[in-house]
Structure 1
């Protein structure tokens, strides 16, 4: 039976490409059989109010209203997207009454989740929504496929918005002059970045880009995964078959997906060859199994036929009739060399006409120039091979747009903006929102908790240590959790969980990067598996206890979970059989050769069910998607935040089994008088770094007077570091990065890079000279630790914060960058209520009979300290331990909260008071003191150490920020302040 209402509304909404218009008027104009009357809205309202989840009319309006809610470009409404006001404007233009509005709001709530954050210098006038709608053949097919796969309207609309935001910042493919934009898209680890760049590719080729080069990983396995995804969801059956009859067995010989269980049913169909439907074909220059080949046919395939041969390819008459070419190539020197060689054969004139899109997946891997920083500093600029070849590609293709995709952007934003041959995202940086249904940092770390001693709900539900007092190493328990969670998946599949079926079920064990260690670990796991006795009563008792103590406690109320172990027991047996298929439960994933990864159980696309425990290192920690990952046992440490973050394979989408996910991770354990590294804490620190970075991007993304508040080149200072030992990226990826700020509240800071020139030493002494007059005449005795009995005499006085800042800003240094990050922190103190009121200046006095005292520039006599420079212009230790302890107590530092028992010291302490300890240092023996008891300032180093008050910053951990050195700007001061401190 024909659904007349659905057809009518479909026709009306199709006519609203530019936005909502008067619905009744359009319906009257488009109705074929029945003239609409005043009861039309009532019938529509009743239909939506009574509709079930599968009603197509409600789904149509769900898609339409969500798209209008999210649209960034809406000339029909001044209200911001994702607001009730925007929805109200749509209803007003549609002419809908209050009753219909109420019903629609109930059926289609306003989508208010945040959209992409865009930092851009690129105008967006060429790619409007109208432009996108006119040519949308491949995007429409991709959108239809996503809906068929069960994507929600909000998810599809969000992807539409995010991919549109990328394409509109590329150069117009039809512009007369060639321009190549450079951009970076930042997603989350395992969060669906491929879906975004598939959408970007679909829209870009619809708009006119005719050569697409996807740099898809460093392994054939990863490259093949990306090729399959694009073939399945974008290129489609008809382009893969190149016009051959899909029902002719002989025509299918050689098609690379004949052994793929998803071919052809799950591959997008264009319902005919695109070129026969008024669109254009996509010709694949690579296949699932074959990377780019340097062949004559490859060269010819890159030659574009032009309808009007006297005009360049990029004019509309040629561009929209030409087939697009697409290749997915490995980041491999040999493969890229073949491609570059073939492009050179084609020649510059034609290459300059080809609108090209280069997508760089995992762009912080291999692509960034990681040459030796020392060689770079010496002017010996030798690019790494992959970085050089990407630069060559961009040079050969003047119309090439480079878009990098990564979840760990720090290496990319530290690229030198002034290096014209590199891939700094000079034009735009887009941060994608956290996708709906994604398990990320908030699901494993309780970032908002205030009680540091108590575990939050996320930690209790999903996180377990790798040791406990009762059993020691918990690897055996992790294996039990893997078997039990597999059984629970089977139980849910048998109870018709909508999010199933649970095709793959995996566990990841990651302890080391060493191949030999992996073999030993795999043997240990096999031994534990054999001893686990999952078919015995002992094994079942153990699983029953784990079910009651853990999985039932944290089960999702909306998903089936057995109340009795007896109901789960049959599924336990089946889970054990699936895991042990092939005679072993363990799969080792490592090695440096391609054949090491050509294991059937590593191909999640072609293997029906992968139920295995994967043991590996680096290759498992980047790019490689571990499907069905449910239990992770992780204890590897690294000192690079981006490396550590990429190891977070437990982040991702877990439909139907979010509550079953378990992370066994290294926690701090006492070893003697120290604590081991807490990997969970390290993950939380880098997650905070990334959340801070994203929040800062969002803060500065809003335009002011139509102009961006920051450009991509100004983004690196937003990169922060919450753990001092955990760097944002490896040093060879950060050699263009400059340390901007070190926030060290409650910690002793001791600069050592004092000048050597006489004029600079005199200058510093003159800067400090007024402070000496503020010190009390009589010394006080300070006792920082009564038990140690290490008292000392000192003169003390106070300075307000602004006065000290003027002094510190005026000092001269042999290496200014050593102290400037700390100074930057003091200059920013006061933001967010982190105020510093004043500083206690402490000038220790020596009481030894061998002490040397002298006045400087007419001051009272000072006790001189002898110190030596140890590394070039740098001194060794200057401050004495007892002085440091006293300063920490007076500043009420977090690690010195116990009272010393000294009333004088305690009386000097304040909540918002910092401490500066002055050391008049001489380097010569004996000191050159004149007969009058004076020393020339040219022979004196006015050294100091300081402690900012512990209350001056809320976080307990260090906060470090970096920025990129721009080679086009020359040398410039990190901290620039006028004489008045402004």
Structure 2
């Protein structure tokens, strides 16, 4: 969005008048009219003391408010779109709902102006992609992709406000699949939009637990009134959707013709996508949503999700399209920008990407190997009888949560919510057992914690100092809050602490409505999707999933932590950490795809969003992927590296050393003595067969989630003459421990030091990064200048594939003072390798996408039904 820049007199007096005009503007025709009223009121108040300078300030404020809504050009920078009418130019100066929302966010919620400006711009883009509500009939289908816990609701709220200002008069929000999520959504919209101008809204639902949609008394929608809107926030449930459809059918045609509907599907990857086996079949909720859309003559459907995997696999050409179109986002897909101050999978866990060497924040704590079996049942038969134990890790998590509450009180957050999440089991009975265990443990140790006595108090002291030092900003070099001051707050924290249970049957639910809450909440699925946990600082999380979307949605710890982003901690398993690091790459690839195709001016019907597979995981439920097909597996333009090693397997390590030695000998026999490059050696014109043999005979750890030998060999074999000859380099340090064995004809060589991440599972070593960016310049003549990044360096390379061999010291101690790494302690010296492939990166990867060439009917006649392999999880409400 581009606005004309106006010269603004930014005195405090003008700013004060700007606020007054914005707050009252909706009741008047223009900002100038509001200014006239204010000047009259001030004249009545001050009499002769009402000076010309004050009058000029009011007029200046009116000019600022008036100009802020003019000369808007919406740049659809984050969307791929079908040919859309350009009908929306942004909010006008007299639009009541956006004006009131803007003022509420700025003055009541105290949001940063940059954050509000970002929401303003992003919501303008989405509204501009809806259909024009002045048209008699339309049927728009769109998708908005955000980040988990990133403020999607804020964008939705702004879109609703602006859409109503622009002429939409019936807003339907599908707010999750549970009463709790529906109520949370209703309350948010009421607070942010509806209550600002309550007289302009007709509500069919309320924030009560039983306030969901029912048939209206007259079984019909009301005739829309000029400047007013009707609102429904309802559960995504078959019976509710049928009541909605019945209300539409009973609405007189003269009223129905006047309704301009915006239907927002929150968490649209959940329940909305058709997961029925057959192409002619539909799941109940999917069918009901489609029938509702079919019954409305003028409706824009917009799905919101942070995990769009299932949505981009919807069949764009359903068999029964003449009757009911499916929910494929044919008109637009918008990827919301990463919000300022947000931290997600990359910040928390780091990334498996070869291009991103960041290790994430030091906020993740790995559970002991036997913790899972001590705190949750491993068999369905034990779901009622099993009793969880208090483990050292759970004690540490509780103690740190209590410490964070005390710290936040010292930082002036006593009026804010503070929450700890415990999500260990999906079984409802276990939630109550776990909550009782935690509550009794806290009661047992409360006096010692407050009084500073006993073993638990000493542990609290040690834990506090250790945790604060691990995430304190580098420039602080000290504990942020004095320990004595923190200790003095513990009594108040413990007095405020409660222990709610969140599931479908609990009577002690999480409550943020009766003032600031300090809660250790235990629960299941309802805590793993949609529900926002206010002020979340500590998570104790054992549950996992094989599916991308389910796993990412469990990440309630993602989001914003203004004023306390050094405090969040996550206690979990090393396997879950590994999966999240891989998913961080997938998330960003989808967004980069959308950006790339937006630049190429392609539409959602010209291309399909690709989702790269991770071996060992499912993208989404198999039943939602029946229209997705595997695209080519390619490494074009990529660089890959081994970062995980089976470091305790002596025979495997010796075998890999032998394989690397054979490659070196082959290179010497073919190319002669290597070229020396700063104590590194380079062989040119090494034949494809030698490189292929090296890959074939090298054991690559199965723990690599996105680097599998079968995929790599398949790509090499398909590439043919394009990879006929290679450059092979051996990367060694200037100084380093000499290898125990000879590396072929090079003899014994200096070895690289690569310490492992201390939180990796014991069964393998994870070094996070093997290659240095400048290593890939080993075969580049001359000096390379320019940005210090992978893409720039790869652009300077010759169009020859490169294989780099890294001999690694078996011991490999970490750098002094490292808190995240420990010695490699391998059974033998290790061989790692990296590869750099020529070509265009946008053609690479192992991906799934839907087929966009419309199929003929006979293609489906003999198609077998796909076996449903989706993960089955017991429901917990």
Give the TM-score category using the shorter length.
0.5 to 0.7
How far the C-alpha of 1:612 sits from its partner, in A, is 1.9
Alpha-carbon contact 1:348-1:396 (below 8 Å) kept: no
Deviates most, 222-231 or 401-410: 222-231
How far the C-alpha of 1:574 sits from its partner, in A, is 1.5
Q: Counterparts of 1:204-603 in structure 2 under 5 Å?
A: 204-236=163-195, 268-269=196-197, 273=199, 281-289=200-208, 290-295=210-215, 297-300=217-220, 302-304=221-223, 321=226, 323-346=228-251, 350-372=255-277, 376=278, 379=279, 381-419=280-318, 420=321, 421-447=325-351, 456=359, 458-460=360-362, 462-467=363-368, 473-493=392-412, 500-526=413-439, 528-530=441-443, 532=445, 533-536=448-451, 537-538=453-454, 539-555=456-472, 564-579=482-497, 585-591=498-504, 596=505, 599=508, 601-603=509-511
Change beyond 3 A, Cα 1:646–1:700: same
Between the aligned partners of 2:366 and 2:60, the Cα distance in structure 1 is 48
Q: Counterparts of 1:37-116 in structure 2 under 5 Å?
A: 72-73=73-74
Alpha-carbon contact 1:191-1:435 (below 8 Å) kept: yes
In the other structure, the counterpart of 1:78 is none
Secondary structure of the structure 1 residue equivalent to 2:340: coil
Residues 384-431 of structure 1: per-residue CA shift (max 9 Å, x gap): 111001000110002111000111111111111112421111000111
In the other structure, the counterpart of 1:937 is none
How far the C-alpha of 1:440 sits from its partner, in A, is 2.1
Secondary structure of the structure 2 residue equivalent to 1:602: coil
In the other structure, the counterpart of 1:836 is 723
Determine which of 4, 14, 20 is the counterpart of 1:6: 14
How far the C-alpha of 1:614 sits from its partner, in A, is 1.6
Alpha-carbon contact 1:492-1:559 (below 8 Å) kept: no
Between the aligned partners of 1:786 and 1:128, the Cα distance in structure 2 is 65
How far the C-alpha of 1:336 sits from its partner, in A, is 1.2
In the other structure, the counterpart of 2:796 is none
In the other structure, the counterpart of 2:543 is 636
Alpha-carbon contact 1:891-1:912 (below 8 Å) kept: no
Alpha-carbon contact 2:145-2:334 (below 8 Å) kept: yes
In the other structure, the counterpart of 1:864 is none
Residues 429-450 of structure 1: per-residue CA shift (max 9 Å, x gap): 1111122232323431344997
Between the aligned partners of 1:526 and 1:661, the Cα distance in structure 2 is 21
In the other structure, the counterpart of 1:711 is 604
Between the aligned partners of 2:845 and 2:170, the Cα distance in structure 1 is 44
In the other structure, the counterpart of 2:532 is 625
Alpha-carbon contact 2:276-2:283 (below 8 Å) kept: yes
How far the C-alpha of 1:545 sits from its partner, in A, is 1.6
Q: Counterparts of 1:729-744 in structure 2 under 5 Å?
A: 729-742=620-633
Change beyond 3 A, Cα 1:449–1:716: closer
Alpha-carbon contact 1:186-1:429 (below 8 Å) kept: yes
In the other structure, the counterpart of 2:594 is 697
Between the aligned partners of 2:459 and 2:12, the Cα distance in structure 1 is 61
Between the aligned partners of 1:738 and 1:451, the Cα distance in structure 2 is 27
Alpha-carbon contact 1:66-1:157 (below 8 Å) kept: no
Between the aligned partners of 2:92 and 2:477, the Cα distance in structure 1 is 40
Change beyond 3 A, Cα 1:588–1:9: closer
| 5+ residue gaps, structure 1 | 18-30, 33-46, 48-54, 74-80, 82-114, 237-267, 274-280, 306-319, 494-499, 580-584, 668-676, 748-782, 806-818, 841-888, 893-897, 915-948, 973-982
Between the aligned partners of 1:969 and 1:304, the Cα distance in structure 2 is 42
Between the aligned partners of 2:58 and 2:560, the Cα distance in structure 1 is 27
Residues 140-188 of structure 1: per-residue CA shift (max 9 Å, x gap): 1111111112122222222111111111111111124x12110011111
Q: Counterparts of 1:939-954 in structure 2 under 5 Å?
A: 951-952=835-836
Determine which of 132, 148, 159 is the counterpart of 1:189: 148
Residue 646 (str. 1) matches residue 553 (str. 2): yes
Secondary structure of the structure 1 residue equivalent to 2:365: strand
Between the aligned partners of 1:59 and 1:547, the Cα distance in structure 2 is 50
Secondary structure of the structure 2 residue equivalent to 1:123: coil
In the other structure, the counterpart of 1:769 is none
Secondary structure of the structure 1 residue equivalent to 2:329: coil
Residue 166 (str. 1) matches residue 126 (str. 2): yes
In the other structure, the counterpart of 2:89 is 128
Between the aligned partners of 2:104 and 2:338, the Cα distance in structure 1 is 22
Between the aligned partners of 1:505 and 1:698, the Cα distance in structure 2 is 37
How far the C-alpha of 1:214 sits from its partner, in A, is 0.7
Between the aligned partners of 1:828 and 1:297, the Cα distance in structure 2 is 67
Q: Counterparts of 1:864-879 in structure 2 under 5 Å?
A: none
Residue 720 (str. 1) matches residue 612 (str. 2): yes
Alpha-carbon contact 1:414-1:734 (below 8 Å) kept: yes
How far the C-alpha of 1:905 sits from its partner, in A, is 15
Residues 637-660 of structure 1: per-residue CA shift (max 9 Å, x gap): 210011111111011122221111
TM-score by length of 2: 0.64
Between the aligned partners of 2:713 and 2:528, the Cα distance in structure 1 is 37
Change beyond 3 A, Cα 1:475–1:9: closer
Residues 633-689 of structure 1: per-residue CA shift (max 9 Å, x gap): 12222100111111110111222211111112211xxxxxxxxx3x11211111111
Secondary structure of the structure 1 residue equivalent to 2:150: coil
Alpha-carbon contact 1:184-1:428 (below 8 Å) kept: yes
Kindly tell me the number of residue pairs found equivalent between the two proteins.
Answer: 647
Between the aligned partners of 1:203 and 1:588, the Cα distance in structure 2 is 37
How far the C-alpha of 1:193 sits from its partner, in A, is 1.0
Alpha-carbon contact 1:463-1:665 (below 8 Å) kept: yes
Alpha-carbon contact 1:799-1:838 (below 8 Å) kept: yes
How far the C-alpha of 1:690 sits from its partner, in A, is 0.5
Between the aligned partners of 1:560 and 1:60, the Cα distance in structure 2 is 49
Residues 22-64 of structure 1: per-residue CA shift (max 9 Å, x gap): xxxxxxxxx99xxxxxxxxxxxxxx9xxxxxxx9999999999
Alpha-carbon contact 1:135-1:207 (below 8 Å) kept: no
Between the aligned partners of 2:216 and 2:258, the Cα distance in structure 1 is 21
Change beyond 3 A, Cα 1:543–1:522: same
Determine which of 573, 581, 585 is the counterpart of 1:684: 581
Secondary structure of the structure 2 residue equivalent to 1:172: coil
Between the aligned partners of 1:492 and 1:322, the Cα distance in structure 2 is 44
Residue 961 (str. 1) matches residue 860 (str. 2): no
Between the aligned partners of 2:11 and 2:481, the Cα distance in structure 1 is 46
Secondary structure of the structure 2 residue equivalent to 1:650: coil
Secondary structure of the structure 2 residue equivalent to 1:214: strand
Between the aligned partners of 2:847 and 2:418, the Cα distance in structure 1 is 40
Deviates most, 539-548 or 155-164: 539-548
How far the C-alpha of 1:621 sits from its partner, in A, is 0.5
Residues 59-101 of structure 1: per-residue CA shift (max 9 Å, x gap): 99999999899x544xxxxxxx8xxxxxxxxxxxxxxxxxxxx
Alpha-carbon contact 1:630-1:650 (below 8 Å) kept: yes
Alpha-carbon contact 2:421-2:540 (below 8 Å) kept: yes
In the other structure, the counterpart of 2:111 is 151
Deviates most, 633-642 or 346-355: 346-355
Secondary structure of the structure 2 residue equivalent to 1:725: coil
Secondary structure of the structure 1 residue equivalent to 2:501: strand
Between the aligned partners of 1:3 and 1:838, the Cα distance in structure 2 is 69
